Amino acid sequence: MIKTLTTVGNSKAVILPSVLVKRYNLKKVTIEATEEGILIRPVDAKTSFQRKMDQARRNKSAIYRKMELEANDPKTIAFYNDPSNTFEDVDLDIVES
């Protein structure tokens, strides 16, 4: 989308289309200088990673319950007790004792 700057006093302004204001529920925006140019985004905007982490935190107890059920499943226990299974690709830093 190409927009023309408008003079407002001694400054310049960009008028955002109402469809974008409604779509992103804009009340306030933050303007950042980036290597690629100028970034305009909602003040409360979160990255998709931040939204997924928020969701994971909300669902943490359900996730732990599911992990516990799977860990106590006889098939899971049999798999890990089978000496023919190797776990060389497991990152031991993430495994709790």
pLDDT tens per residue, the chain (97 residues)? Answer: 899 999 999 999 999 999 999 998 898 998 999 999 999 988 876 778 888 888 888 899 888 889 899 999 999 889 888 888 877 777 777 766 5
26 located within any domain:
no
Q: Label each residue of the chain as H, E or C.
A: CCCCCEEECCEEECCCCHHHHHHCCCCCEEEEECCCCEEEEECCCCCHHHHHHHHHHHCHHHHHHHHHHHHCCHHHHHHHHCCCCCCCCCCHHHCCC
For residue 91, is it within any domain? no
Domain count, the chain: 1
Structural domain includes residue 22: no
Q: The pTM is what?
A: 0.42
- Is residue 42 domain-resident? no
